[in-house]
Structure 1
């Protein structure tokens, strides 16, 4: 039995359909019912509940593979930011770190916005990236400086709201999904979604940097090829 058979066994739909549904759901700001309609337009009749199960099972497998492949290969300038998310009428905080090219390094849902929460994010970053950054950029929240002195005392720290637009902009895809999904149902739901969504978004994120359109198409094709490899198509 091949690796592909092991991954997709006991599923009556072909691997290509399952992987395409997962790609649609996480690549674009679509609801489960929208994905169901897009598949139906191509003659593939599958319920949105099935799409949800595919997204959770296969999406996590694909995201973990992408995360392993990118470990230690992302940028050395970390932009950290936090955004408030309302879940069940209570405030929670979505802590996020991206590198200088906009690739997401870590996302963590926490109930507090303090030094303890910042330390937890930094520890996870160091564990995931395997090394400290060259420089860390944050807004003026003092919790970052307090946490950095304990976790990464030798790292340069720039604290200025205007320098941190990259991290603030990285919240926008989740904000769009929040509206489409009519808010996240729980902290577990949000953490599960972002832990799958962001690695897949990284795979298809192509920094512009004034690159030629032909090179952009090449990078996009390479991302699609890698997706096919990860999905075992």
Structure 2
């Protein structure tokens, strides 16, 4: 991509948006140090300093994270919850989940922990709630 094709946030940068995104990805996702990112890019023939990588991470990290979050698949209509996740704050968890995904699920499946029922009645009274010892095995068996 030549300079005439660059637009938006990547304008006036010496490197292409693909290289910048790759550097940010290496640092944030692969969990490498800035100096390791510098070395890896040098092995690929791209001379970029660790300080430039740090600046790109600060500038473009939130933008790239936002794009990646938008690509995540939407959750289904059924939530499987387990008491290991929640002891006291079931209401807070339900509110947070609904805010995060922007919708109310059709059903939640939990174990026999009573705080889920109380939280459901307060937060989403119309929500279908299945509570049985074996129904939430899906939540317990996540590996």
How does the TM-score come out when normalised to structure 1? 0.44
Aligned to 1:114: 88
TM-score, normalised relative to structure 2: 0.63
The answer to whether the Cα contact below 8 Å between 1:139 and 1:164 also exists between their aligned partners in 2 is no
Name the CA shift for 1:36/1:130 in 2 (closer, same or farther; >3 Å): same
Match of 2:129 in 1: 156
Whose Rg is larger?
2
Measured after TM superposition, the shift of residue 18 of structure 1 is: 0.4
Q: Which structure 1 residue ranges, 5 or more long, are not aligned?
A: 84-94, 96-111, 170-233
**1:68-79 correspondence to structure 2 within 5 Å:** 68=70, 73-79=74-80
What is residue 9 of structure 2 aligned with on the other side? 7
Extract unaligned runs of 5+ from structure 2: none
- Alignment partner, residue 40 of structure 2: 38
CA contact (8 A) 1:77 1:136 kept: yes
In the alignment, is the contact (CA less than 8 A) between 2:24 and 2:56 conserved in 1? Answer: yes
Given candidates 99, 108, 112, the residue that maps to 1:136 is 108
Taking the aligned partners of 1:3 and 1:122, their CA distance within structure 2 comes to 45
> Per chain length, whose mean CA-contact separation is higher, i.e. which structure has more relative contact order (CA < 8 Å, sep 6+)?
1
- The alpha-carbon distance between structure 1 residues 70 and 49, as it changes in their structure 2 partners (threshold 3 A), is same
Q: Separation in 2 of the partners of 1:63 and 1:75? A: 22
Name the CA shift for 1:137/1:6 in 2 (closer, same or farther; >3 Å).
same
CA displacement 1:33-52 (0-9 Å, x = unmatched): 33333212112233444334
Q: Contact 2:108–2:129 at 8 Å: present in 1 too?
A: yes
Residue 19 of structure 1 and its aligned partner are, at CA, apart by 1.0
Q: Distance in 2 between matches of 1:52 and 1:25?
A: 9
Partner secondary structure for residue 79 of structure 2:
strand
Cα separation, partners in 2 of 1:156 and 1:82, compared to 1, 3 Å: closer
Q: Structure 1 residues 130, 13: closer, same or farther in 2, change over 3 A?
A: same
- 1:127 aligns with 99
Given candidates 42, 51, 55, the residue that maps to 2:57 is 55
Mapped to 2, the partners of 1:51 and 1:81 lie a distance apart of 40
**Corresponding residue of 1:215:** none
Equivalenced residues, count:
136
User: 2:20: which partner in 1?
Assistant: 18
Return the offset for 1:56: 3.8
RMSD: 3.7
- Look up the SS of the partner of 2:121 in the other structure: helix
